[in-house]
Structure 1
Amino acid sequence: MRNAWPLLLAAAIAPARAQTGTGLKGDYYEGTNFEKYVLTRRDATINFNWGQQPPAPRLPAEDFSVRWTGWLMPPTSGKYVFHVTVDDGIRLWLNDRLLLNEWRGQPQSSYTAAVELRAGEPYRLRVDYCQYGLDTRVFVTWEQPAATAASWRNLWGMTSEKARPEPISAAYLFQNNPKPVARPAASAAAAPAPKALPAASVAPPPAPRRAPRTATVVPRPRRPAAPEPRPAPAPTVPPPPAAVAAADSSRPARLANLAVGEAIILPDLYFDQGQARLLPAVRTALDGLAAALRARPALRFEVQGHTDNVGNAELNRQLSQQRAEAVCLYLTAHGVAEGQLRPVGYGGTQPVADNADPAQRPRNRRVALRRL
């Protein structure tokens, strides 16, 4: 029994983890706003002090930016406090919720953001960093709930020990969702929508089940009185993107029939003015699109963001890129493979309506899928 005490002590202190992560995906760019892609690598955690040296080969020591993306799976439930020390700009999202936005040139500065997390629940993580000049450093640490700060002093609850900020271990960071949404069976149309992440609102009750595409069936006059529905034949020439209804964008057959280079507009996908955060109603509408893409894993699409021509052209391009990326993040969080999607922001360079006419201008503020 005496030899068993070390094992019992280790089991009580060490948190149980079903999966172990390996870190985040880091995309490195020239320019302070992701102007020129240079390389991608795996970073175990965000804990860098490059001084005045380049962060990676083929990158300058100044005027560059980095985007880290992946998933965070906390070891226990409770209130976490993120601590960020940075020189220069930083943005931090968790499940598409912007926790920190200090995007500017600045001397070394520190910020905190608190959030409630659940143990074993994967949270989509994104951290953007930009460097203007001189010293180059970025540290993202966290302060775990007090219950996780276990030691021999508070193991039996006799004393309390406050958790301290520490680097986020790679064991809790994943490049891909550690709990991917299961791929639906062949009857994808009858399957329930995937469960939304905590940041999304609760979806409304599903519509009553009905036979597929019965609205387009025209019964033949010579058939019996109770004919079986027969779907109408698909058109030989796909309609232009502007003429496609929103419901068509969630049908696997419609996506599969798109020719390479053909685009389909998602009219139900909209954003608040000047914002790139998905609205709750839009997230619900994207569930059907996610199911369609999961059912056709071989299809690849460019997710295009478009704006009108009002305002600064470069800011419009950046906003359209952020909106396209927000759509891709939501779809991949609901089981769509990252390789199926490529976000691109075009700003106001590809109008489909007259920007000079206020009544037509809103048509240019759109998101589309173009088959690759």
Structure 2
Amino acid sequence: MPFNRLCLLTASLSGVLLSFPLWAQQGLTGEYYRGTDFAQKVHVRIDPTLDFDWSTRPPLPDLDWSYYSIRWTGGLRAPVSGQYTFYCGVDDGIRLWVGKHLVIDEWHLTPYRHYEGQIHLVAGRTYPIRIDYFNDIHGGRIDLRWERPDQPDRWFGWLSDPGETIPTVYLHPPSRPNRPRQPAVTPDIPLVLLAKKALPVKPKREPTAQTWITRSQPRPVDDAPPLIIRPVTGPPPVVAPLSLLFAPGSYELTPASRQQLDSVLVYWKKNPPGRIEVVGHADRLGDRGLNKTLSEYRARVVMAYLTRQGIAPTQLRGRWHGDEQPLTLDAMPTRRARNRRTLILSHYD
């Protein structure tokens, strides 16, 4: 019977589509966070296009109407070669990367308005794309559009929004899922003990430092023994700065890092420092430009957390060095975590 066969075929196709993992669908992977600094992830989904108006409702039931942030990542395929113009209509802040280039950087509060940036793309190539977005108070709004080099001029184009919404067919999520995060380092366990636990039962003899250091990998700037972080009860942490560790490719504060910050905040509230330096770092894996941005975000996330806990913004000074100042050799994975850090130094002068 044709009708029954059609029903069975439709049910089968629906089951196949629903069984696809997120990274196999078309669109961009959207990571939704509570707070404006990507601090607490609440949901991950695939968004076919970026054209959202949340001025009267939150993006998700688990988010508030205000104070959230979203990161979209994936690939963008260029249909033709030439100069592309990207338009982002946004309320509030937006950063857009295409390939290795920061095309739009408007990370500040603003009512809804359009920003634009240009980049040359080659037909047939797929470029990594990333959009960071945050909304502060009240509702948010964001749309991502482009103007292709082969797009004809439109009559009375000034009456409508510039460009066109990027079709889903040119967008896809990252080709494979993200690697699992490493377990958080507890504040009272020396890092050297964690490294020993990660080694095989019968480890081979490790090469000397001279064997690993090459011209392309600078000598570590600090070869001091591992730092043990404990709640601050004595003098302010100036000689031994507070060190927060991060997972690979992440600038999300771990529960252990929050515990470290809460411990030092107890002392600071009784003995306020004159100024606090927050210095972000990254390991040497991946693109150096992106590592510099990652170290900046790690420092800014810590500064935002301290500000929410009552530290005046005028007391904070942020710096970021990317992968330029490693503590240990990245060729040794068990110790590489020490390079993914943010240092916090308090000054009472």
Relative contact order (C-alpha < 8 Å, sep 6+): which is higher? 2
Tell me the TM-score normalised to structure 2 length: 0.49
